[in-house]
């Protein structure tokens, strides 16, 4: 390309090329690629800027203090595996909870006899109450009514039960409606 026949990049376009060459119109980019004069001018300016940066780095002081980072937390094999400070915090909470449980158990075991005796008595009463409740659940009628109704021996008489409540498969009504409770009404 004969650089004398065409217009060279003006100083603003050269600046633009230094900022970002790809922002120039394509024709100017092509000219810059081909024209030695424009390219040299651009490169000379870029070298000045590079030199400025290099000088600054060379003539700037060096840091004299090392960087101090926070002291690392004590580490264990598990700690190494579960690295990270949040995990460590969670582990610390769990450890505190375990410690509380252990301490709590220890305090209960070493508590005065009167206190443990009292707790034991309460436990026995609670068990007795639960046994009574279980009996009521099995059959809510008092013994005297069970004897009148003959139900006191009903549990051992399967035939009598089948008479009162026929098995489901033999009940056409329940199998038709699909409502198991109907037969009892």
Residues contributing to the site for another protein (CB under 8 A): 11-12, 15-16, 18-20, 23, 45, 48-53, 55-65, 67-70, 72, 83-85
Angle at which helix 11-20 crosses helix 36-59, to 10 degrees, equals 60
From residue 90, give the alpha-carbon distance in Å to each of 6, 122, 162.
Answer: 73, 38, 61
Binding piece for Zn ion, criterion CB under 5 A, among 5-13, 51-59, 100-108, 152-160: 5-13
Q: What share of the chain is helix, strand, coil (3-state, %, to 5)?
A: 70, 0, 30
Minimum Å gap between C-beta 51 and another protein is 5
Minimum Å gap between C-beta 16 and Zn ion is 14
Q: Among Zn ion, another protein, none, what does residue 35 contact (CB within 5–8 Å per kind)?
A: Zn ion
Question: How far apart are the C-alpha atoms of 52 and 57, rounded to whole Å?
Answer: 9
Residue ranges that bind Zn ion, judged by CB under 5 A? 3, 8, 35, 37-38
């Amino acid at each position: 390309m004969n650089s004398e026949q065409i217009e060279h990049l003006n100083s603003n376009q050269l600046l633009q090329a230094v900022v970002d060459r790809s922002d120039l119109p394509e024709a100017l980019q092509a000219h810059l690629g081909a024209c030695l004069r424009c390219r040299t001018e651009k490169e000379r300016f870029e070298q000045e800027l590079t030199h400025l940066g290099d000088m600054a780095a060379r003539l700037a002081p060096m840091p004299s203090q090392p960087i101090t980072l926070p002291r690392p937390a004590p580490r264990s094999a598990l700690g190494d595996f579960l690295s990270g400070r949040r995990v460590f915090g969670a582990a610390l909470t769990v450890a505190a909870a375990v410690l509380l449980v252990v301490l709590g158990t220890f305090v209960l075991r070493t508590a005065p006899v009167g206190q443990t005796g009292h707790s034991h008595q309460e436990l026995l009463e609670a068990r007795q109450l639960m046994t009574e409740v279980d009996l009521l659940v099995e059959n809510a009628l008092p013994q005297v009514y069970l004897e009148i109704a003959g139900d006191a021996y009903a549990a051992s008489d399967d035939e009598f039960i089948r008479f009162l409540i026929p098995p489901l498969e033999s009940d056409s009504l329940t199998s038709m409606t699909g409502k198991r409770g109907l037969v009892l009404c």
